[in-house]
Copies of this chain bind each other. A is one copy, B any other.
């Protein structure tokens, strides 16, 4: 099935291809050769989906669309302050080729007019023109995600007819905006305008700006993220020449057009648009290009300022330890305590891009409940990114909670490396370790909190506790004689820490009574191994496969020195034959254990579903 987005773009293309207004640019002979029917549309999402229709692969020259990109490279190569000294950021009501310089300093008003673009090209470093040209081509190629090259014919044509731009160059030299021979810089400017691109390239370049400088197709950083807002700002205020106010009003996306008929438009965080259609209006903007941008903005509701609130923001789910617990299997007494006091453990699943406004919702959610909490698990497993303000906010939240004697635990913190850096920067590496507690996953984090909570409630734990026969829930209701009779049926097996007890796939013919130590149940292989349960002394395991008579579905490994008492299927059958009353009690107790686990699982499913 074809994507409805392609269908939509195709119908828009059909609708606008009949527009016959405007003239192909003729100021250089090469541009005049363009076919006025050429028409391509390409929409690329910030996640890298490309939707293209029409003449999206025909090459043409980038022309003025090069200006914001060279401006970005100049920022990267010189830093913000040095660039602002040479070029301003104020719009001018004048045409694109006017020589709008500040009267006293000679500084061009902005980098989107020719004077500003030539001043910007002057900031691209390099000893010779070829190395400066290479910097520009490589920079543009990173944005496009493929190797771009010059259209030499157009470049020569531009160079042969570019007297006005040479005049601007000398004027800039006069004001010391350019500090050496202006001619090579004007040549570089002609070259940047003559880079050959397709409509698809423009879409990808725009999407790279939408994705904070990371090309969504290659995953590579085309420009340092901090400069993207600067590039988009000058596009927004000056990108559509003397038409900026109406453009932002009607279309509401930073954009830039070129006289070869290209337009890019960017919806930050969401998508980029490339359009190509050579006939231009009197401002020098592609007529069908403007039509496409207006239609897309309106029909897809892309206006930058037409946004709904974040509401739930970063909060994916909140639950507490009275309903959801770690996979550590607890005794009946512990389970009852967790049900009663588990609300002191809160777990907040965060999601999406953590910026100030989304993270605020999470902080608010925690503070609302903080009186009730002793432990907080912050789960970053569904987080896509975090910025510095969000990381600092979560740091401050944690510090505040810790100061009140609460414990904060982070899981999946590998997804938010910035957070650890903030802790280490603010506290020093040593102290950071003490308050920035991290676990790979929620399961061990919850277990950690539960253990501490149970300890406070008077339940201390040791990995190597032993259980006497009478301690087993399995033998509840057994009298002494029955216990002795039962115990006589059992074998004994010892395991050292890390040793396998049950292998997934093996035949199930034994029930395990854990007399000493701790064991854990895992599914999956090493890379994606997931803990299903941890049992401690006094508990039984292996009963499900025994009921099913199906092969073992999980692997069980000793966490510590382990002693197991083993009831074989054979012995169980023997028990049924000789002492059916004992077997009945045994099965009833096993059934009770399974019922308890199933109830617990159903409660947890109710939370997550």
Contacts and interface: CB of A to CB of B under 8 A. Distances in A.
Contacts of A414: none
B49 A360 contact: yes
A456 to B, nearest CB: 20
A374 B598 CA distance: 31
Given A46-B310, A245-B91, A245-B237, A605 B606 contact: no
A412 B386 CA distance: 31
Contact of A310 (B5, B269, B313, B364): B269
Contacts of A401: 1
A407 to B, nearest CB: 14
A361 B598 contact: no
A387 interface: yes
A512 to B, nearest CB: 15
A435 interface: no
A353 interface: yes
A80 B565 CA distance: 82
A212 interface: yes
Interface string A232-243: 111011100001
Interface in A260-291: 267-271
Contacts of A471: none
A338 B591 CA distance: 26
A322 B404 CA distance: 46
Contacts of A95: none
A5 B270 contact: no
Contact of A598 (B47, B90, B357, B601): B601
A388 B268 CA distance: 20
Contact of A608 (B302, B304, B385, B605): B605
Interface stretch (A118-126, A181-189, A192-200, A576-584): A576-584
A176 interface: no
Nearest to A299: B389
A309 B46 contact: yes
Nearest to A242: B90
Nearest to A608: B608
Given A355-B301, A400-B4, A608-B609, A594 B584 contact: no
B361 A45 contact: yes
Contact of A302 (B90, B299, B356, B404): B356
> Across chains A and B, which 9 residue pairs bring their CB atoms closest together, nearest first?
A269-B307, A46-B309, A4-B396, A580-B580, A270-B357, A608-B608, A587-B587, A90-B245, A601-B601
13 contacts: A1-B404, A89-B245, A91-B244, A232-B305, A236-B248, A269-B310, A304-B304, A308-B355, A442-B609, A544-B599, A583-B584, A587-B588, A598-B598
Interface of A: 1-5, 7-8, 45-47, 49, 88-93, 110, 210-212, 214, 216, 225, 228-230, 232-234, 236-238, 243-246, 248-249, 252, 254, 267-271, 299-313, 316, 351-353, 355-358, 360-361, 363-364, 367, 370, 384-385, 387-389, 393, 396-397, 400-401, 404, 442, 523, 530, 532, 543-545, 547-548, 553, 576, 580-581, 583-584, 587-588, 590-592, 594-599, 601-602, 604-606, 608-609
Given A236-B248, A583-B584, 13 more contacts: A45-B357, A110-B245, A228-B305, A229-B303, A233-B245, A237-B245, A267-B357, A269-B309, A270-B307, A301-B387, A580-B583, A601-B601, A601-B602
